[in-house]
Structure 1
Amino acid sequence: MERAPVASINLAIVGVGKIVRDQHLPAVAADGDFRLVAAASRNGRVEGIDNFDSIGTMLAAVPSIDAVSLCMPPQYRYAAAVQAIDAGKHVFLEKPPGATLSEVEDLAARAAAQGVSLFASWHSRYAPAVEAARAFLAGTRIQRMRVTWKEDVRQWHPNQDWIWQPGGLGVFDPGINALSIVTRILPRPVFATAATLEFPANRQAPIAASIRFSDAGGLDLAAEFDWRQTGRQSWDIEASTDAGTMLLAEGGATLSVDGRVVHSEPEQEYPMLYRRFAGLVRSGASDVDLAPLRHVADAFMLGQRQVVDPFDD
């Protein structure tokens, strides 16, 4: 099924929470390709547009919608995506794209059959220095890589119980951002070889994780994720290479080689995501890379479970 190109993309947002207010709404407002026409959320509202309590009610009431951004917790995203795709709408999936690999693969097949675009967005891949790091690593031999992704869950996810429930991913909610960068910048695919996951005694998702990776050439890659960090937050990827020590710091904002900054720009992750989404919609293409989510799934399969002290907000 083919769709005619649209001149202006009428967008709806589903799940109006912190990430929508902090990132999606400003990015959409600044993007001339999109016009925000509606929102659906159980609790949140967006001023100046029509608001609904459910995606089904919204789709029935506003047939002019061309695309939807799904920003609710991943455990509830599949059902909403099916409704949107079956209604012929292009779909933007916040990260992680779903609670399981199988459901996202099914969405991709549905989108292809329906002739609509599906975008599994990985915002950290659009951090300013990621492509510079990719180019640097492509021109040298990597000896080893260390990923350190440690932050304070109380600061970034206060009172968000869904994130501790099955499918919420726990510390992998931020950790998958690091994995999305790693899978973008490395010249060859990697696979997990061992993992340790730390679960608070009163939670169903990990608060910390350690993963070892390798590749066909025997790469030494280790990643450390922790949600208990206070003070300075750590979002760093360091690689020892034949061309020097590379440090991709601040979540991908700054690239240094042997201590010298070689690339640094202001962050524009969500504006670039929407630019990419507009291009997919206009071309009728999809972008559904599941490598970061697959690595998380592998970590759960391989991981040794360790019970640690209970955690309360």
Structure 2
Amino acid sequence: MAKSLKVGIIGAGAIARDVHIPNYMKCGDKVEIVAVSDVVKEKASELATEVNAPHAFSTYHEMFDSVEIDAVSICTPNKFHHPATIAALDAGCHVLCEKPPAMTVQEAVEMAETANKQGKILTYGFHFRHAPEVEALKRFIDNDDLGAIYAARVTAMRRRGIPGWGVFTNKELQGGGPLIDIGVHMLDTALYLMGYPEPDTVFGVTYQKIGKRKGVGLMGQWDWENFTIEDMARGMITFKNGASILLDSAFAANVEKHDEMNVSLMGDQGGADVFPLKIYQEKHDVLLDTTPSFLPRKGYHELEIERFVESCLSGIPPISTPKEGVYLQQIINGLYESAEKGEAVKVERVLSD
């Protein structure tokens, strides 16, 4: 077992500066941040200086050629997840890639296959899996308290929460809008709790009703003149085991709550809402609602990074796997394809068992 994990950062934006690096630093002597790369060399140098990383590069290829690195965090726009991941895996690094996995299903498949070929960890930044509500409910589910989960509802809705910074409204760089940015978190959470069933058919619709005009911005003023994503997406997913998910995701919609992120599950022995956690059951001729009086609290991102580091050092598999990343990418891309075609889309099997 290595004494210290040598980490490189690809992409010197806010997610690297505010999330990944601070939480690597909380790991103490287990982690050494040795390099930062960014297409804007000045940004890489500035961030490297801030965190006392000895090296800064304008390309990750140069970083891999110049410095010994054990693992990387990929914190780039979505368009660049695939090439950076492939390069890192081929360089012998473990990879924590921000969500979503990629832009296309084929890219996600190639990432999974390369991780398997190189024998390296590839995991994704689905930090809601590390929420105490999710961890607690997963124990109930594993103990069969909900029975067979056959239906779920996924909600990731903002009233006027279009990001006023970054490239979140640029379809070419991101691949989509709220579905691929915030909807993906709740969708992954639901799939994780359901045991990540294999998708079968998806039907989706997307809307662009609010984002292309100036309006009240609760997350800064967005660039409405160059708004190329959907501002709302809806969908239904069915799975080969007969289960189904209904999904609503929006950056901007005329709803009451400013921000709502939730997953609802329905099983034949019980159901649950996740945020906040409440479990619904029928026992002894009584309908019961159960809520926890205490849940341990630790930052979702902190646990995500901490567990990634432990996986790299110990070889224990992470809870988010490349195969799950492929399933998720198939659902996302299937929903967008369905919305474009105006009809349901069959999800083809792309991974061998």
Asked if these proteins are the same fold (TM beyond 0.5), I'd say yes
Tell me how far apart the structure 2 counterparts of residues 242 and 116 of structure 1 sit (CA, whole Å). Answer: 38
Contact 1:40 1:52 in 2 (8 A): yes
Q: Residue in 2 aligned with 1:181?
A: 189
The 10-residue stretch of structure 1 (157-166 or 126-135) with the greater mean CA deviation from structure 2: 157-166
Tell me how far apart the structure 1 counterparts of residues 278 and 154 of structure 2 sit (CA, whole Å). Answer: 15
- TM-score, normalised to structure 1's length? 0.82
User: Structure 1: which amino acid aligns with 2:206?
Assistant: L
Tell me how far apart the structure 2 counterparts of residues 56 and 81 of structure 1 sit (CA, whole Å). Answer: 11
Specify which of 206, 210, 223 is matched with residue 247 of structure 2.
223
Q: In the TM superposition, what is the alpha-carbon distance from 1:203 to its structure 2 partner?
A: 4.0
Identity percentage over the alignment? 23
Q: Residue in 2 aligned with 1:310?
A: none
Tell me how far apart the structure 2 counterparts of residues 187 and 113 of structure 1 sit (CA, whole Å). Answer: 25
Specify which of 57, 61, 64 is matched with residue 56 of structure 1.
61
Q: Residue in 1 aligned with 2:22?
A: 26
Residues 168/217 of structure 1: CA separation in 2 closer, same or farther (3 Å cut): closer
Q: In the TM superposition, what is the alpha-carbon distance from 1:170 to its structure 2 partner?
A: 0.8
Q: Residue in 1 aligned with 2:260?
A: 234
Q: Residue in 2 aligned with 1:119?
A: 123
The 5 Å alignment of 1:240-259 reads 240-241=266-267, 245-249=271-275, 254-258=276-280
The 10-residue stretch of structure 1 (267-276 or 72-81) with the greater mean CA deviation from structure 2: 267-276
Residues 65/219 of structure 1: CA separation in 2 closer, same or farther (3 Å cut): closer
User: Structure 2: which amino acid aligns with 1:139?
Assistant: D
Q: In the TM superposition, what is the alpha-carbon distance from 1:199 to its structure 2 partner?
A: 3.4
Contact 1:131 1:185 in 2 (8 A): no
The 5 Å alignment of 1:86-97 reads 86-97=90-101
Give yes or no for the alignment of 1:159 onto 2:165: yes
Give yes or no for the alignment of 1:281 onto 2:286: no
Tell me how far apart the structure 2 counterparts of residues 119 and 130 of structure 1 sit (CA, whole Å). Answer: 18
The 10-residue stretch of structure 1 (37-46 or 10-19) with the greater mean CA deviation from structure 2: 37-46
User: Structure 2: which amino acid aligns with 1:158?
Assistant: G
> Cα deviation per residue 1:82-132 (whole Å; 9 max; x = unaligned)?
322222222221111211221122123223333332223322211111132
Q: In the TM superposition, what is the alpha-carbon distance from 1:29 to its structure 2 partner?
A: 0.6
Residues 8/153 of structure 1: CA separation in 2 closer, same or farther (3 Å cut): farther
Residues 184/143 of structure 1: CA separation in 2 closer, same or farther (3 Å cut): closer
What secondary structure does 2:233 align onto? strand
Q: Residue in 2 aligned with 1:302?
A: 338
User: Structure 1: which amino acid aligns with 2:259?
Assistant: Q
Specify which of 295, 316, 320 is matched with residue 264 of structure 1.
295
Q: In the TM superposition, what is the alpha-carbon distance from 1:264 to its structure 2 partner?
A: 3.3
* RMSD of aligned residue pairs (Cα, Å): 2.8
Tell me how far apart the structure 1 counterparts of residues 134 and 261 of structure 2 sit (CA, whole Å). Answer: 13
Q: Residue in 1 aligned with 2:351?
A: none
Q: Residue in 2 aligned with 1:205?
A: 229
Residues 203/191 of structure 1: CA separation in 2 closer, same or farther (3 Å cut): farther
What secondary structure does 1:182 align onto? helix
Residues 147/118 of structure 1: CA separation in 2 closer, same or farther (3 Å cut): closer
Specify which of 40, 46, 58 is matched with residue 37 of structure 2.
40
What secondary structure does 2:235 align onto? strand
Tell me how far apart the structure 2 counterparts of residues 220 and 80 of structure 1 sit (CA, whole Å). Answer: 33
